[in-house]
A and B are shown apart, each in its own frame.
Chain A
């Protein structure tokens, strides 16, 4: 059985959906971050597979950009989580509603 590009795209779609649902239903910021990472990497898989399908290096290049941005985003996100944890014992994304004023 030959594993075609479609398979990879399917995998990416499944991972992306899991990530989306996770992001929407969980309230723990850490889990939400993981879900976002899942979505980002699903997109990365798409990039790579389509890049190899079209024989274009651009797809793989884009992945590096996504990785760098994701790393930066995680740094800020984790800093926020730590800052929240210092003030209250449990972390719940919905509690941040009070910031709305």
Chain B
């Protein structure tokens, strides 16, 4: 049954091709249902492969399924092949599962949009690229998916491109990601140069048998991390993700929260045998960048007023946790948090989308309030998402965050400290968001400048995914409970892909309990401050909502200022060099060839007899040459 792995990306590809061929000839809901069916088909095939894999023994769970040769060129050979192992199938499970729900949700959310069909075409193309990224059995195929999801992200962020701000946000995402892609490409060149192959399993085999210099592996890991920084929005390449919220909300949920942004973390986990061979300072760096990003983004999320911006910075912060886990060598914990985060962050984004939909496009938290009774399902599920992300037991977020923090403590207590402060901030800003949206007095009534806003609950296509994701957010923690080795199902399941490279905790049971308790206390403090500030209004909210936090520590504007001033001058100089020196050399070569050709062209005069003479002289010349050789 594992052989059916090629069906997984085939369904969205088929959906994409069908939709692009149908164009505008189908009416509104049909294209949405087509796309959703394609995703559901893909999800079903993942389930079949998953069951097939469960029936196999642990050591037989890694299969490469090659479709055909893609680039055979001498020593360089790349196949279109899929690597089906527990890691890729886990990713596929939540990519297609959450993806199907978000496709269904989009049918309701995009209702009435003139570009309804285009939206679903892009969404299916995205799903196809993401699955290629995950399933590719070599780095180049992963890179193909990597660029594919980048392109789809660009297309979907600037989906409503008639507003110049949206188009700019799309460009920003694309260009920032190019920096990361550069790192990925350099890493690929280095890997091919040193290992002679791009296929994961071959690389790992060579790594086992040959001695590769530590500096090489370290550099490869750092370059791959630059790639991961771009896609997974780590400091300082996170700048694009908050702007990416310009896209439709289902896109923010699917691409910029649940799936695409985790691909950087996935890539690092995929190459874990190289990570283990790298110097410790490089993994330390990864851990510190991760935890730093987590704290930095959480501090910004505290003062955002746009409901989606809060969630965007929260995503950056949670991705920081995953990168921290990777840096600590806790690959299972990273995947665990990736899965639970996919559930609760998709839930929160879709909930936010439902609120925006019900409020007629209003995104400002300050103009919500008291929506609890008007949108009961949205409010209920959003509150579950809040409890999950804040880390309240027994919701899924508690288990995954706790595991990462335990590994952080084991590596360096300072990492843990930063992590726990982030957890406190997370609890605080999520409480703030929930209270401002669903509790208190309605504030949309007195705004009144653009007519009446009548908040209403969304249609079933939107609330069903919310409920499904809420259930998953509650029970998601069950896949990896820390009590005994038999409840650590995810760790055991991922073993064929982590090759026993996972770091092992050296903490006693009591330390773990104390750490968990401290985490709970910090969550309690965060929620408590949030409640007393925004619900009971005992603390002045201006203490937390500093303008500098709202402006994201002015980093974005500083970068823009630099790029507009000295940066742009430097790049103009580079462009001039490119135009005059490099282009000059290229054009010069072309001119020389052209001049020589003008002379040689005269021999082609169109007279048959001249050609015959040429052939005759050539034949005589050859004859003489052969004769002189034989007599010698």
Interface residues of A (CB under 8 A from B): 20, 23-24, 27, 32, 93-94, 96-100
Contact = CB atoms under 8 A, between A and B. Distances in A.
A94 B609 contact: yes
B616 A99 contact: no
8 contacts: A24-B609, A93-B607, A93-B608, A96-B606, A97-B605, A97-B607, A99-B606, A100-B605
The 6 closest A-B pairs by CB, nearest first: A100-B606, A97-B606, A93-B608, A23-B612, A94-B607, A24-B613
Contacts of B604: 100
Contacts of B608: 32, 93-94, 96
Interface in B586-632: 604-609, 612-613, 616
Interface residues of B, number: 9
B609 A93 contact: yes
Contacts of B605: 97, 100
Contacts of B616: 20, 24
Contacts of A99: 606
Contacts, number: 25
Nearest to B606: A100
Contacts of A96: 606, 608
A33 to B, nearest CB: 12
Contacts of B613: 24
Nearest to A36: B612
Contacts of B606: 96-100
Contacts of A94: 607-609
B615 to A, nearest CB: 10
Given A93-B609, A96-B608, A97-B606, 18 more contacts: A20-B616, A23-B609, A23-B612, A24-B609, A24-B612, A24-B613, A24-B616, A27-B609, A93-B608, A94-B607, A94-B608, A94-B609, A97-B605, A98-B606, A99-B606, A100-B604, A100-B605, A100-B606
A23 B613 CA distance: 9
B1 to A, nearest CB: 58
B627 to A, nearest CB: 14
Nearest to B608: A93
Contacts of A32: 608
A97 B604 CA distance: 10
B62 to A, nearest CB: 58
Contacts of B607: 93-94, 97
Contacts of A98: 606
Contacts of A23: 609, 612
B476 to A, nearest CB: 72
A1 B613 CA distance: 38
Nearest to B616: A20
Nearest to A25: B609
A20 B613 CA distance: 9
A12 to B, nearest CB: 14
A32 to B, nearest CB: 8
Nearest to A23: B612
Nearest to A26: B609
Contacts of A93: 607-609
Nearest to A20: B616
A23 B614 CA distance: 12
A94 B605 CA distance: 10
A98 B608 CA distance: 12
Nearest to A35: B612
Nearest to B612: A23
Contacts of A20: 616
Contacts of A24: 609, 612-613, 616
A84 B616 CA distance: 26
A20 B616 CA distance: 8
A58 B609 CA distance: 33
A99 B606 CA distance: 7
A99 B613 CA distance: 19
A77 to B, nearest CB: 11
A2 B238 CA distance: 98
B618 to A, nearest CB: 12
A35 B430 CA distance: 96
Contacts of B612: 23-24
Contacts of A27: 609
A99 B527 CA distance: 87
B624 to A, nearest CB: 15
B219 to A, nearest CB: 56
Contacts of A97: 605-607
B600 to A, nearest CB: 15
A20 B612 CA distance: 9
A93 B604 CA distance: 15
Nearest to B604: A100
A100 B610 CA distance: 13
A101 B59 CA distance: 70
A94 B604 CA distance: 13
A9 to B, nearest CB: 14
A24 B620 CA distance: 14
A27 B607 CA distance: 10
A31 to B, nearest CB: 12
A84 to B, nearest CB: 12
Interface centre among B605, B606, B616 (most CB of A within 10 A): B606
Nearest to A99: B606
Nearest to A97: B606
A23 B616 CA distance: 10
A23 B606 CA distance: 16
A93 B607 CA distance: 7
A83 to B, nearest CB: 15
A100 B606 CA distance: 5
A8 to B, nearest CB: 19
Nearest to A100: B606
A82 B608 CA distance: 17
A94 B613 CA distance: 14
A20 B604 CA distance: 21
B609 to A, nearest CB: 6
Interface string B323-339: 00000000000000000
A82 to B, nearest CB: 17
A32 B608 CA distance: 10
A96 to B, nearest CB: 7
B297 to A, nearest CB: 66
Interface in B66-121: none
Nearest to A101: B606
A46 B559 CA distance: 84
Nearest to B613: A24
B152 to A, nearest CB: 47
